[in-house]
Amino acid sequence: MTDVTTSTVETIRRIFTDHGMKDYLGEDVTMAEHMLQAAHQAEGMGGDPLTVVGALLHDIGQFTSAFGTITKADTRDRYQEDAGAEVLK
């Protein structure tokens, strides 16, 4: 792996470790469980590796919100897709 790849993987690992046990929008699963479920479903439906990784990381921007915890009642757009893209650059 290149230094950039190693750095990105380490960042993702740290985000899951530090924030993965937080509730997912008030549901009975954690953020990490939700993301892992999405990846598992993508894989089970025959998704290629990039689709599975995309499913795994689809909410990574919620981990990086500068606005705190996001709840179902919070309808403001936090631009999590932009935050997630910055993490994965």
40-69 pLDDT per residue, tens: 999 999 999 999 999 999 888 777 654 455
User: 84 is in which domain, residue-wise?
Assistant: 3-88
Contacts of 11 (CB under 8 A, 6+ apart): 87
68-83 pLDDT per residue, tens: 555 556 556 666 667 6
pTM for the predicted model, two decimal places: 0.71
- If you average pLDDT over every residue of the chain, what do you get? 80
Q: What is the number of structural domains in the chain? A: 1
Residue 50 token pair: 């990039």
